[in-house]
Amino acid sequence: MQLTVTAEPSIANLVGWDELVIGDGIELPSHDLFLSAKVLHVFEVFGNKVPQHLIVRANGSLLGGLATYRLDEHVTDQLMWLDVAFPGTDVLPARLVGGPYESRTGVLTLPSLDEEARIRVVSRLFAEAEEIARRNGERLVVCGCVDGSDTLLRNVLRDRSYLELPGPDHFVLVTPPGGLDGYIDSLPGRHRMNVRRELRQLREGGIAITVEPLTPDLITTVAPLIVNLQNKYGIEANCDLIAARLGLLRKALKQSMYGVVARVGDRVVGFGELIVYRGNGWTRHAGFDYEAQGTLPVYFGVAFYGMMDFAAEHGLRVLDYAFMAEEAKRSRGCQARTTVRVLKAV
């Protein structure tokens, strides 16, 4: 099998990208939302990371792909935390590979490839990424968030002299059958009691939670709530930036974007983003009116309880809850997946 590698700056030119999958895809979605062609195109058009999408072919057939980006003093990504690799040193510029640091990064390969062929494809793609980094004077090649169970990728990169660093736990929830009632029944006894108490508090507080399409009007309404949450954790944000970001994702994903919305009467007091893709769901942006919600458990209502009937109705297999809020997510049935950050000096 003679492999050829090309670099394409635009994902729009790559036919067949979404037919490739990341990792084995058994316990997690087989193709991560943030590596889909539509989302990568949003990053390409409206971001500033100067992508190079590497493609492996054999006899004209697409076998694998690797999204790569340049990070430098003009194009940085705080979520990469590159300075922890070599404390006190300047590690930029660098080559970020495997996709943006959102939930799960890695190499996309044709599902029908056997293990030996996948190893060759993965190794060839990283060899090309390293060569690009050398030509561009980039100091590191970094794969931001590799799932701990992706042993094939990790073994290939170890053989290529990459260093592994611990990453944050990545939380997912395998949705039980039966909607909200089935979800409650799936929890341990003490957590079931907490959930029923919180649902009662929400009802008595007049909180109604719905799942509805993410319309432009809804984006405008919830943007201040998202800013509230981000400012609470020291993240600078403004309504225009949030609205633009959600609007771009909505444009790319169209009918796949939903909002989990908590209201008291007509007033929106809580919001969670829900993206449906290939039979799974992703949660990312959230926001709250802290003054209006008071001590009511609106976070849990939006993040978990309000979407369980929707998840059952739409047959969503896995809900991706990303990172952080570890204790809260574990207590509501999420499983923690270990991740590693993999890097190599070039």
Fold of the domain built from segment(s) 176-316: Aminopeptidase (3.40.630)
Structure tokens given for 152: 């094939």
Structure tokens given for 70: 């340049």
Same fold? 4-169+340-345, 176-316? yes
pLDDT at position 27: 58
pLDDT above 90 covers a percentage of the chain that reads: 64
173 within 8 A of 300, measured Cβ to Cβ: no
CA-wise closest residue to 207 among 312, 289, 327: 289
Q: What is the mean pLDDT of the chain?
A: 89
pLDDT tens string 119-147: 999 999 999 999 999 999 999 999 988 99
pLDDT at position 88: 53
- Domain 4-169+340-345 in CATH 3.40.470.10: no
Distances (CA, A) of 111 to 23, 37, 115, 325: 9, 17, 10, 34
d(CA 111, CA 114): 8
pLDDT at position 24: 65
pTM, whole model, 2 decimals? 0.87
pLDDT at position 108: 94
Q: How confident is the model at residue 25 (pLDDT cuts 50, 70, 90)?
A: low
Give the number of other Cβ atoms within 10 Å of residue 224's Cβ.
16
Domain boundaries, the chain: 4-169+340-345, 176-316
Lowest mean pLDDT among 23-37, 80-94, 108-122, 253-267: 80-94
pLDDT tens string 188-213: 888 899 999 999 999 999 999 999 99
